[in-house]
Amino acid sequence: VEFKSAVVWFLVALLLFQGGAQIYGGIEEARRDIADTFYQQGLAIMNDGGGALAVLSDIGNGTEAPIPAPVNQFAPFLPSDQDVDGLDVAMSYIGADGYDVIAPVSAPHPIERLPWSFLNEGGYFDPATGSATFPGMGQVERETAIGRGVQGISRLLMGTLVALFGVLEQIIHLALAMAMGLAFASAFIAILFAFFKHTEVLVWSVLNLVIELFVQSIIMSLFLSLIISFVLVGAVTGNAVVTFGTALVGLLLVTILLLASLRAIWNGINRLFSAMSQVTGGTMASPGGVAAGALGMATGGVLGAAGTALAMGSGNSLAQSAGIAFGGNSTLLRAAYMTSLMPNLRGTRFGQVASEFAEGAVARTALGPVLAGAVLPKRATEASNTGDTVTRQNQSTQSRPEEIVRTYYQAADPRTAQTSLNSAFGPVMAPEMARLLDAHT
């Protein structure tokens, strides 16, 4: 224990246990404020008509209405939400507000199935310019009303894509918040071991995780603001191809960010256990290591079962199929191979089974279970015939032993007598039976 370090860690522990919740809330608020700033800057560049994001605005028919500046729509219903995010941007694009989504009883405007701005005076679907009023309109007015309706349908369709990005963004922020929460929970455990030099690595590991998550959240917020601004630029062009292309690219990028945020949760779970494993000499496995081992075993089992099914379906013997299934065990492979080489077992059924098991195991090691099951040479017919012959011989031996003895004694020469015993008992047991019969004589 180093006195100076112990005092410093004592102060850190005191700060953490006294104000850990406030620190966590402050980090989350700072992270969302940074994301809000990125959104405001990206949309400001797009609305000003300058910058790289505005290049796409020159493509299309130019009849789409501009996007109003996004504001926080859910602050009246959720006081903790004070920042602009992707959902606010999507609602600004389709002209909706929080009352259209929450639909409270005391709404300042009627609640309909569509955003109220679409049905209000001058909206895309204003009843005053609807189809019921076409008989009293001129041709230009009717074409203008129809064009506004088409633009409204386009806004609703494209707004669905933009809203999808907003929902995915909320999932990403939720995953990052969970990862940060896991990091703080780990800090409460790790700080107890910070007073000793040997276990001080636990605290540093958790602190590094908190810093990494904060930096990762800033980078993701920047990318999310750029992606949604990019998609919005494509949506306001009025060009279906450009809109679809920007939405497809944006969806791909957001999916990558979503996977990265989910990986951050898994990293937050594993970091403390990995540090504990390092301190304890590897006796504590991390959840990631346990899951990877279980997944490897499950994958090996599935592949082994598939290879066994292929082998048996292709006509291979049961011993060969067993070798493919369990050949991943080097101990079984060596035992089967050495058994097949034993002189006293050559030519016997037991030795043949060991040889076939070794064949399947070696094929699995060289080719993998599935390919081995497909290409392993078939010995099922030979094994079956041999097994049937041995069975018949055993049955003959058990049912008519006097015939075997009579044939041995009445043979014209010793070779014929030995051949009869070989056919009845096999090449290993036949000499023993011959010595027994000779001694009896």
Mark which of 267, 285, 303 sits at the end of a domain: 285
**376 and 410 assigned to the same domain:** no
**30 and 90 assigned to the same domain:** yes
Say if CB 284 and CB 272 are below 8 A apart: no
User: Does 382 have pLDDT greater than 50?
Assistant: no
* Whole-number pLDDT of residue 16: 79
Say if CB 72 and CB 83 are below 8 A apart: yes
User: Does 311 have pLDDT greater than 70?
Assistant: no
User: Does 247 have pLDDT greater than 50?
Assistant: yes
User: Does 381 have pLDDT greater than 50?
Assistant: no
User: Does 68 have pLDDT greater than 80?
Assistant: no
**256 and 328 assigned to the same domain:** no
Residues 6+ apart with CB under 8 A from 363: 323, 324, 327, 372, 375, 376
**387 and 346 assigned to the same domain:** yes
**343 and 410 assigned to the same domain:** no
User: Does 349 have pLDDT greater than 80?
Assistant: no
Average pLDDT, the chain: 74
**304 and 281 assigned to the same domain:** no
User: Does 126 have pLDDT greater than 70?
Assistant: yes
**306 and 389 assigned to the same domain:** yes
User: Does 431 have pLDDT greater than 60?
Assistant: yes
Q: How many CA atoms lie within 13 A of 292 on its CB side?
A: 7
* Whole-number pLDDT of residue 380: 45
* Whole-number pLDDT of residue 284: 60
Number of domains into which the chain is organized = 3
Residues 6+ apart with CB under 8 A from 436: none
Mark which of 285, 315, 347 sits at the end of a domain: 285
Look at 314 and 430; give whichever has higher pLDDT.
Answer: 430
**255 and 321 assigned to the same domain:** no
Which domain range does residue 166 map to? 3-285
Say if CB 205 and CB 271 are below 8 A apart: yes
**302 and 429 assigned to the same domain:** no
**36 and 180 assigned to the same domain:** yes
User: Does 263 have pLDDT greater than 70?
Assistant: yes
Q: How sure is the predictor about 80, in pLDDT bands with cuts at 50, 70 and 90?
A: confident
User: Does 173 have pLDDT greater than 50?
Assistant: yes
**115 and 11 assigned to the same domain:** yes
Counting Cβ atoms within 10 Å, is residue 34 exposed (0-12), middle (13-18) or buried (19+)?
middle
Mark which of 221, 250, 285 sits at the end of a domain: 285
Look at 75 and 316; give whichever has higher pLDDT.
Answer: 75
* Whole-number pLDDT of residue 117: 85
Range with the lowest mean pLDDT among 86-90, 215-219, 226-230, 295-299?
295-299
**278 and 304 assigned to the same domain:** no
Look at 135 and 246; give whichever has higher pLDDT.
Answer: 135
Question: What is the Cα–Cα distance from 412 to 326, expressed in whole angstroms?
Answer: 50
User: Does 66 have pLDDT greater than 70?
Assistant: no
Give me the mean pLDDT over the 10-22 stretch.
81
Range with the lowest mean pLDDT among 30-39, 75-84, 272-281, 426-435?
272-281
User: Does 262 have pLDDT greater than 60?
Assistant: yes
Q: How sure is the predictor about 35, in pLDDT bands with cuts at 50, 70 and 90?
A: confident
**Phi, psi (5° rounding) for residue 370?**
-70, -50
Which residue, 250, 239, 292, is CA-closest to 63?
239
Joined tokens for residue 316? 């291979």
